[in-house]
Amino acid sequence: MNSDIFALTYEARSVRVFDEERLPSKELLCHFVDCARVTPSAGNMQVLKYKVCCDADTVKQLRPLTRWAGYIKDKKLPPDGKEPTAFIVICHDKSIGAVTPFTQMDVGIAAQTVNLAAREAGFALCMIGSFDKDGVRKLFDLEDDLEPQLVLAIGAPAEEPVICSVDETGSIKYFRDSADIHFVPKRSLEEILL
């Protein structure tokens, strides 16, 4: 079976090299958030809030608060001059409800929805869970009840990661080859069906 949603999902890989010449507008970023806004939410609590960031100065301050590509030790990603041009920070509003495993699922649902919306619009992102929460909180002057959960780095893709099969070693670690192509091993459908 081949469908548009499968193709879109297949193409919506994490990108770590961006074209800094093509910038997403604030309106487009807000559209991505609006797509996430209407997704399912645990108990329909809607505890997530979003900080959209696309002005160059703030983007420049946010970049060093993020850590990228933990499996790749011998290369700086993203490379200088090929960095994301926008960010969306997903926060949990604790004044609405506590952080629970169910509300954590909301973060994943929202992030993937933004990912698909961005890809459909010709942009790409990388979901970053490794970031300086205190630094992000301070940069955006977030209230105490707003807990940063995930940073979405967004920009025009300057690479197309390739999905490959998990090899005989069973390693799921993504890697870059000598041509600097990014490969992402995925288990086969047969391996994940119970």
The per-residue pLDDT for range 69-89, each reduced to its tens digit, is 889 988 899 999 999 999 999
What is residue 2's predicted lDDT score, i.e. its pLDDT? 53
Q: Is the pLDDT of residue 1 over 60?
A: no
Are 69 and 118 within one domain?
Answer: yes
Are 33 and 90 within one domain?
Answer: yes
Rounded to 5 degrees, φ, ψ at 140 are: -100, 5
Q: Which domain holds residue 131?
A: 4-160
Are 88 and 35 within one domain?
Answer: yes
- The span from the CA of 32 to the CA of 29, in Å, is 5
Counting the structural domains of the chain, the total is 2
Are 112 and 17 within one domain?
Answer: yes
Are 177 and 145 within one domain?
Answer: no
**How many beta carbons lie within 10 A of that of residue 105, not counting itself?**
13
Are 155 and 166 within one domain?
Answer: no
Are 124 and 154 within one domain?
Answer: yes
What is residue 74's predicted lDDT score, i.e. its pLDDT? 87
Are 98 and 183 within one domain?
Answer: no
The per-residue pLDDT for range 43-71, each reduced to its tens digit, is 999 999 999 999 999 999 999 999 998 89
The per-residue pLDDT for range 119-148, each reduced to its tens digit, is 999 999 999 999 999 999 999 999 999 999
Are 127 and 143 within one domain?
Answer: yes
Whether the link from the prior residue into 161 is cis, omega within 30° of 0, is no
Are 115 and 184 within one domain?
Answer: no
Mean pLDDT to the nearest integer, 156-160: 96
Are 155 and 170 within one domain?
Answer: no
Are 81 and 62 within one domain?
Answer: yes
Mean pLDDT to the nearest integer, 92-103: 94
